[in-house]
A and B are shown apart, each in its own frame.
Chain A
Amino acid sequence: MGVDKTLDKNIILSKLDRALGWARKYSIFQYPFVTACCGMEYMSVACSHFDIDRFGAGFPRFSPRQADLLMVVGTISHKIAPILRTVYEQMCEPKWVIAFGVCTCTGGFYNNYATVQGIDTIIPVDVYIPGCPPRPETVLDGLIKLQEKIQNQKQEI
């Protein structure tokens, strides 16, 4: 339910929505759910060479209760899928999910009995970053697209 529904119809809240969007997009607390090789690129993105901190997302919070962005990094197997769903459900609204790497987008070239063929079969995903592993510039591009999405969506209070 948006904020404008609680007020009279002749009050426009576009500025508040945009201000909240601006604040949320530049202070992202990420929960890196790192499993596999994409974790190496995640480490490169988080460190000084391809600094993700300049986009405001440089502070990983290792508890899902304190995070608002779930970055699923690396292949998800069926053994860990229930745990991923539990972690997602423990996060509070508003929350976003990035599928980092092609194994999380569609399963990659692991078309087998143990790999989840895309995490969007389990949890809803906002941005898909393909690549095996994606270059750090691709990750930053994906993050900027997520920031645009956060800015333009209806902000819930």
Chain B
Amino acid sequence: MIRDSPSLVQGARKIETENDEKTMETTTKELKTKHMFLNMGPAHPAMHGIIKIVLELDGETVINADIDIGYLHRCFEKHCENGNYMQAIPYTDRLNYVSPLINNVGYVMAVEKLFGIEVPKRCQYIRVIMSEISRITDHLTCIGATAMELGAMTVFLYMMKAREYLYDLIEDVSGARITTSYTRIGGVKTDLPDDFKEKCREALKELRSVLEEVHRLLTKNRIFVDRMRGVGKISQEFAQSYGITGPFLRSTGIGYDVRKANPYLIYDSVEFKIPTGIEGDNLDRYLVRMEEMEQSSRIIEQALRDIPEGSVRVDLLDRIIESSEMIDLAKMGKTKELILTHSKVAPTLEGSEVQSHFRINVDKRTIVIPSKQDTYSNIEGLMNHFMLIMYKDGIRAPEGEVYFPVEGANGELGFYIVSNGTDRPHRVRVRPPCFPIMAAFHEIIQGDMVADIIPTFGSVNMIGGELDR
């Protein structure tokens, strides 16, 4: 074999001894290198949304980066100006689409601040429970996707399994899994179903067992910790000069949370802690998010324990008739028998009956649409509904401007609404929590390697719908 030929081996040994003085380092210093420009283009496998990062690389190290956003610009703010206050609610679902109920609640609370009204207690508890469930789904998706990109496919599947239980809960309450449009100005769309408490407790039990499994898989895992520890580090001053909030800021040690600083709804009457990190790197952000999910479960359990009672389902069987029967009687002119009867609502409208209406909605006819039974069975309800929905009528807000911040899953989500007295808002502005983080991103990844961009980007939890609106 040529390889084993003694003369060749001797020749190789001779060259080796000659090169001993010249080390690898001196050889590389003599080679001329140039920086390379690499495009992590808009369509890339990290399943977080579309963004273009143009990197200037020296080997594997990032010297400079330029971030290009706007690939999902869907003109949320312009659409809000073109419709009335209620028509903006479906557009708010699609802002941060992993935690849609938080956006719904934020927008509606800003409008309610403009009107100067406050919703009943039961409605506040319902909004808090749904917001916290949404926050948990957001953190599950974020950690699951980050872990998947580092190779931990199992964690992703476990997180999605836990998320399915929560989606079932959300579907029971609001009718849709993701784009719920659940809140209304002055209340929520429907009351909680009867068996919600038991189902919720079951789902939280499943969630906790999944979180424990994920802790066992990831938190002390050598590979995971090595890839996340010390990567994407930021300091407190850096975070404050960029206006970063949320888990990103809390991982540096500053415990700023809108739920504690400016409490809204019932957050001042439930007990929960704000987890903070120490070093401000990716591993701290992962731990902060895992702990926040546990704290959110605590909030949900306390809210379920303290929620005021729902409507008493009085058996009005002899006073509720099928809507088809009611129409037939009305056509025949037998309207005297219809006094004080209500028509039966369709299954899709369950939860919005007359009994539960005033527990979940403010008692103001100029703002809140009447309950479905009233709309479908008597003329006053129908007229009230008509005046609030049709074009050029609708909800009239007083002139002025408000800014209302809520704690989104990524940080402070603020709605700034300017009203000119008509039924359409003059300007609706969303302050997206991940916008300042992406503005700072090019500085965060400087000095790290290309492979470190992936977990850092995953821990940013950039949601395209929120960033580009």
Contacts and interface: CB of A to CB of B under 8 A. Distances in A.
Contact of A132 (B44, B71, B179): B179
B442 interface: no
A83 B41 contact: yes
A47 B97 contact: no
A36 B98 contact: no
B164 A37 contact: no
A35 B71 contact: yes
Contacts of B70: 77, 79
A48 B160 contact: yes
Interface in B45-97: 45, 47, 49-50, 70-75, 78-79, 90, 93-94, 97
Given A34-B47, A36-B94, A37-B94, A79 B74 contact: no
Interface stretch (A19-27, A38-46, A147-155): A38-46
B76 to A, nearest CB: 9
A40 B142 CA distance: 11
Interface string B156-172: 11001101100100000
B160 A35 contact: no
A40 B141 contact: yes
Nearest to A87: B43
A49 B168 CA distance: 12
Contacts, number: 91
A21 to B, nearest CB: 29
A1 to B, nearest CB: 31
Interface in A73-121: 74-75, 77, 79-80, 83-84, 87, 109-110, 112-115
A77 B42 CA distance: 12
B213 to A, nearest CB: 14
B156 A47 contact: yes
B42 A83 contact: yes
A49 B164 contact: yes
Interface in B171-203: 177-179
A36 B72 contact: yes
Given A35-B71, A80-B42, A112-B75, A49 B90 contact: no
A34 B71 CA distance: 12
**Residue from the set B94, B98, B164 with the largest chain A CB neighbour count within 10 Å:** B94
A62 B161 CA distance: 23
A110 B75 contact: yes
Given A44-B167, A77-B74, A36 B161 contact: no
Contact of A62 (B45, B49, B72, B90): B45
A32 B50 CA distance: 12
Contacts of B78: 112
A32 B74 CA distance: 20
A39 B47 contact: yes
A130 interface: no
Chain A contact residues (Cβ within 8 angstroms of B): what range? 20 to 34
A112 B202 CA distance: 43
Nearest to B468: A77
A37 B96 CA distance: 8
Interface string B447-468: 0000000000000000011000
Interface string A39-81: 1110110011100000000000010000000000011010110
B254 to A, nearest CB: 30
Contact of A47 (B42, B161, B177, B465): B161
**Residue from the set A37, A87, A132, A133 with the largest chain B CB neighbour count within 10 Å:** A37
B202 to A, nearest CB: 16
A44 B43 contact: no
Nearest to B73: A114
Contacts of B160: 43-44, 47-49
Contacts of A133: 177-179
Given A40-B141, A47-B160, A48-B157, A77 B71 contact: yes
B179 A35 contact: no
A119 to B, nearest CB: 14
Interface string A133-156: 101000000000000000000000
Contact of B75 (A41, A49, A62, A113): A113
Contacts of A49: 160-161, 164
Contacts of B71: 35, 77, 79-80
A62 to B, nearest CB: 4
Given A35-B50, A41-B178, A48-B157, 7 more contacts: A35-B72, A41-B177, A47-B156, A80-B50, A83-B41, A87-B43, A115-B74
7 contacts: A37-B178, A37-B179, A44-B167, A49-B160, A77-B70, A79-B70, A109-B90
Interface of B: 41-45, 47, 49-50, 70-75, 78-79, 90, 93-94, 97-98, 141, 156-157, 160-161, 163-164, 167, 177-179, 464-465
